[in-house]
Amino acid sequence: MKKNTIVIDGPAGAGKSTVSQRLAKRLHYLYLDTGALYRAIALAAHQKNIPPTNSKKLYELCCQCRISFKKMKGKQKVYLNGKDVTSALRISPMGLLASHYSKLPVVRKALLWHQRKFGEKGGIVAEGRDLGTVVFPKAELKFFLVASLKERAKRRYLELLKKDNQRSLHQIEKEIQKRDQQDRKRALAPLKKAKDAIEIDTTTMTIDQVVSAMYKKFLEKMERP
C-alpha cells in the first residue's frame, strides 16, 4: 500500500524543519528538506560565480550538482557533490541568497523533477514554501505553519546564539522580514497557503504540541474511508 505524502509549508522561522523531522521520525517516514536543495544550488552558484542572469549556466549547474541527504548520529546531513555542506547552508546570508535564486524559473524547473522523484513512492514528510501548491499539489496531507514575526526572529536568534552569533535580534527580525517579502512577492511559485492545507499558528506552541497536533490530523486522515 502506498504511503502518504505529507507537506509542511510556511515562512522562515515558523518551525517547519524541527517539527517535520520529528513527525517523520514518529511515522518512520523520510524527511525531505526541499529548502536545502535550493540553498545547495545557491551555494554552488556562489562558489562558481554564476550570476542569476546566466540561465544557461544555472541550468547546467542544477543538472550537474549531486545533492543527497544522509543520516549521521541521528541528524540529517546535506551533501553537495560528496561534501558535507550542512553548516554552510544554515547561515543567514545563504537563506537570503537561496530565496534570490529559488525565484528563478530555470532553477525551479530543474529542481522540480528531483523533488517529485523523492516523493513518487510516498512515505515522506517534506517541508518548504510551495510544496502544497506546486510540487505536491495532490499530497494526502498538507500543513501550513505560521508564527508572529517577533517570535520567529527570537527563535532564530536563540538558535544562532549557540553558534556565537554576532547579529542583534533586531537585525535578524529585519532579515526574516526581507525574506518574507521576497518569498511572497516572487512571480513564480510564491509562498502561499494551499486551499486544502491545515493552518497551525505555532507562536505560543511547543514543538511537541505542534507535532502532536499534526499526528492527530494524520490519524484522523487514516481513519477516513
Q: According to the model, what pLDDT value does residue 1 have? A: 55
**Is residue 89's pLDDT more than 80?**
yes
Beta strands in 56-212 (DSSP E): 67-72, 75-80, 83-84, 124-128, 141-146, 198-201
pTM score? 0.81
Kindly state the cell numbers that stand for 85: 555542506
Helix (H, G, I), strand (E, B) or coil at 78: strand
Instruction: Indicate the CATH number of 5-202 among 3.40.640.10, 1.10.420.10, 3.40.630.30, 3.40.50.300.
Output: 3.40.50.300
Beta strands in the chain (DSSP E): 5-9, 30-33, 67-72, 75-80, 83-84, 124-128, 141-146, 198-201
User: CA dihedral in degrees (68, 193, 87, 150; nearest 10)?
Assistant: -170
Domain ranges in the chain are 5-202
Mean pLDDT value across residues 112-122: 83
Q: According to the model, what pLDDT value does residue 98 have? A: 86
Mean pLDDT value across residues 98-122: 84
**Strands ordered across the beta sheet of 75-80:** 67-72, 75-80, 83-84
